[in-house]
A and B are shown apart, each in its own frame.
Chain A
Amino acid sequence: MKPECFKNRLYYGIFLPVIAVSGFVIDSPYYLQVLTFIGINTLLTIGLNMLMGYAGQISLGHAAFYGIGAYTTTILTVHFDFSPWAALPCTLVVTGMVAFLVGLPMLKLTGYYLGMGTLGFGMIVYVLFREWSHVTGGSSGMVGIPSLSLGPVSFSDSRNYFYLVWMIVLVCIVFCQRLIQSRVGRALRSISDSENAAKALGVDTKDLKLKIFILSALFAAMAGFLYAHLVTFISPGSFDFMVSIRMVTMVVIGGMASIWGALLGASVLTLLPECLHAFADFEMVVYGLILMLIMIFMPRGLTRGLMDIYERSVSKQI
């Protein structure tokens, strides 16, 4: 068996039991909710990682898609009395359309200009959420989002919701891994190495970039859907510029171009603020410091960094 393949199975071997067992063992709704948030953030990070890590395109406005996902399902269920499950496909279609329309002109840009373009789009969507008050509820947000249920199973129970979210995460991880190992995945990675070379070899880079942009937007919309029905209350503050930045940070801290890295990055950056509450006023200082230290000492992300440390200690013993 190839070592890569073995490693991957090892990760699944760790990941699945940890999720299954922690759902059983943990009783406190608070901890379950934190773990559920990790799942939602993982969805966001995996999607963005496909765009940033594999296709090499930056987005500093991804919170917009997250927000559009959350707001679409909220508006449909609250104003139009849709059932959440009927709202889900509509949410995905709406977000996909927006991503298509935005991505078409935007992906012409490269590097920092693409970053700025997506950032501007994120800001515009945020202002729209805040100011279009008779539809989005303005800056005070919207309440009364119904929680999910499927037949006799109600997902208002935090344990059920936890399993629901992580099942979706699992499906997405498997999907992304299959995608990356496919022909499309190789074409994607070639774009991130050199777009011109990829073009010369017959990859339709424009088309592929757009598709992956839409895919990552759909991931974000799914996360937004799950977020809205989890907290049953949304306001524009949850989808502002800093949220986009945090998503990018999760991708880079975990390790670019690594699905498991996305999981790790999302976990670390979701847990970190929860742990730092003890520092009170020093919270921000410590958070910034940790962020800098991780990047200074592990510039290739936590996954790679921890692996290097492990390998070094093994080779020392020999």
Chain B
Amino acid sequence: MQEILQYLFSGITNGAIYAVIAVGFSMLYNSTELINFAHGEFVMLGGLGIVTLWGGSLLPLPAAFVLTVIGVAFVGFLLERVALRKVSRSQPIVLVIITIGASIFLRGIGMLIWGKDAHAIPSFTKLSPMDVFGAKLMPQSILILAIVLLVVVGLHLFYRKTLTGKAMQACAINEKAAWLSGIPSDQMVLLAFFLSAGIGAIAGIIIAPITMCGYDMGILLGLKGFCAAMLGGLGSLWGSLVGGLLLGISESLGVGYVSSSLKDAIAFLVLLLILYIRPTGILGIKEAKRF
């Protein structure tokens, strides 16, 4: 009981982080029908940004948090404006390759700025771990879960309640019809990139205290986030949350009961099984665009 609870806690913590990354993938896919392979690099920039700004004690935590998120969001903004806008009418695979190029570029930049070593920062809170039925629950985990829920609920409200959010959804459903009714679809795409990169940065920031941050952390995290978004169903907000948690929990149970070295294989095995049963993910309804 105590053991399984411990695995569940660590699974939910990791899963929540995968979920935030997946949300970034998903919302961008909604607006642009594009999978951004540079998304993992936004996570990396977020993590290393907080390492420098807060870990180097330049700024207090809230200011560092906001500044990092806005900075990384701006990088996403630039990516769309400079690299993708010009070719936005090409085949999707071309855009995917551009984002792969961008991810290599950003990883290179990260290596130049922060070097090849991994960096660590202390936990955000000074509280000691709580005891739940004998299993240890870290305060950082609760913080992570809270932030993740805040992001998902916030986005949900943004889509449902605000005019801009509704306009974005209109663009996602049918870009041309949205354009005809006076929605500036170009700006919506730009905004989607801005938000998605910002959410990626949040994921990087909350993961920073529980893992080492290095310039190459984005590859695997991006992959897991992509996997979670697929599991839940691409383009679905709640699907991303479900997918992320499912992935995280199955991973940590796999580590606990099978073997830690097979961790990645287990996660992807779960993915293949679910895709076999439901070819569009658990909560996915839309047919996915082809490459």
Chain A residues whose CB sits within 8 angstroms of the CB of B109 once the complex forms: 285
B103 at the interface (CB under 8 A from A): yes
Distance in angstroms between the alpha carbons of A288 and B35 in the assembled complex = 17
Residue of A nearest to B99 (CB): A292
Contact, CB under 8 Å: A116 / B261? no
Distance in angstroms between the alpha carbons of A111 and B91 in the assembled complex = 12
**Sampled A-B contacts (22; CB under 8 Å):** A52-B291, A111-B289, A111-B291, A112-B29, A113-B234, A113-B281, A116-B230, A120-B275, A124-B269, A131-B262, A245-B37, A245-B100, A249-B100, A252-B94, A253-B97, A256-B91, A287-B108, A291-B97, A291-B98, A291-B105, A295-B98, A300-B90
B106 at the interface (CB under 8 A from A): yes
Chain A residues whose CB sits within 8 angstroms of the CB of B271 once the complex forms: 116-117, 120
Question: Contact string, B256-291, partner A, CB cutoff 8 A, digits 1/0?
Answer: 000101101100110110011001110000011111
Contact, CB under 8 Å: B290 / A288? no
For residue B80, give the distance in angstroms from its CB to the closest CB of chain A: 13
Chain A residues whose CB sits within 8 angstroms of the CB of B106 once the complex forms: 288
A150 at the interface (CB under 8 A from B): no
Chain A residues whose CB sits within 8 angstroms of the CB of B87 once the complex forms: 295-296, 299
Contact of B86 among A56, A116, A282, A296 (CB under 8 A): A296
B253 at the interface (CB under 8 A from A): no
Interface residues of A in 252-281 (CB under 8 A from B): 252-253, 256, 281
> How many pairs, one residue from A and one from B, have CB atoms within 8 Å of each other in the complex?
145
B39 at the interface (CB under 8 A from A): no
Which interface class (under 10, 10 to 19, 20 to 34, 35 or more) fits A?
Answer: 35 or more
What residues of chain A have their CB less than 8 Å away from a CB belonging to chain B?
52, 56, 58, 105, 108-113, 115-117, 119-121, 123-124, 127-128, 130-131, 241-242, 245, 248-249, 252-253, 256, 281-292, 295-296, 299-300
Contact, CB under 8 Å: A113 / B230? yes
Contact, CB under 8 Å: B272 / A252? no
Distance in angstroms between the alpha carbons of A231 and B101 in the assembled complex = 28
Q: What secondary structure prevails in chain A residues at the interface with B?
A: helix
Which interface class (under 10, 10 to 19, 20 to 34, 35 or more) fits B?
Answer: 35 or more
Contact, CB under 8 Å: A292 / B98? yes
Distance in angstroms between the alpha carbons of A58 and B290 in the assembled complex = 9
B104 at the interface (CB under 8 A from A): yes
Contact, CB under 8 Å: B98 / A113? no
Known: A108-B279, A116-B271, A121-B272. A284 touches B104 (CB 8 A): yes
Question: Contact string, B20-43, partner A, CB cutoff 8 A, digits 1/0?
Answer: 000000000100000101000000
B83 at the interface (CB under 8 A from A): yes
Contact, CB under 8 Å: A113 / B280? yes
Among B107, B112, B271, B280: residue with most chain A CB under 10 A: B271
Chain B residues whose CB sits within 8 angstroms of the CB of A290 once the complex forms: 101
Contact, CB under 8 Å: A281 / B93? no
Chain B residues whose CB sits within 8 angstroms of the CB of A287 once the complex forms: 104-105, 108
If A248-B97, A296-B98 are given as contacts, then 14 extra A-B residue pairs at C-beta distance below 8 Å, sorted by A number, are A110-B287, A111-B287, A112-B35, A112-B234, A113-B281, A116-B271, A117-B275, A119-B227, A127-B265, A131-B262, A252-B97, A288-B104, A291-B100, A295-B101
Contact, CB under 8 Å: B288 / A283? no
Residue of B nearest to A133 (CB): B261
Distance in angstroms between the alpha carbons of A117 and B276 in the assembled complex = 9
Residue of B nearest to A285 (CB): B108
The 3 closest A-B pairs by CB, nearest first: A288-B105, A284-B108, A291-B101
Distance in angstroms between the alpha carbons of A253 and B98 in the assembled complex = 10
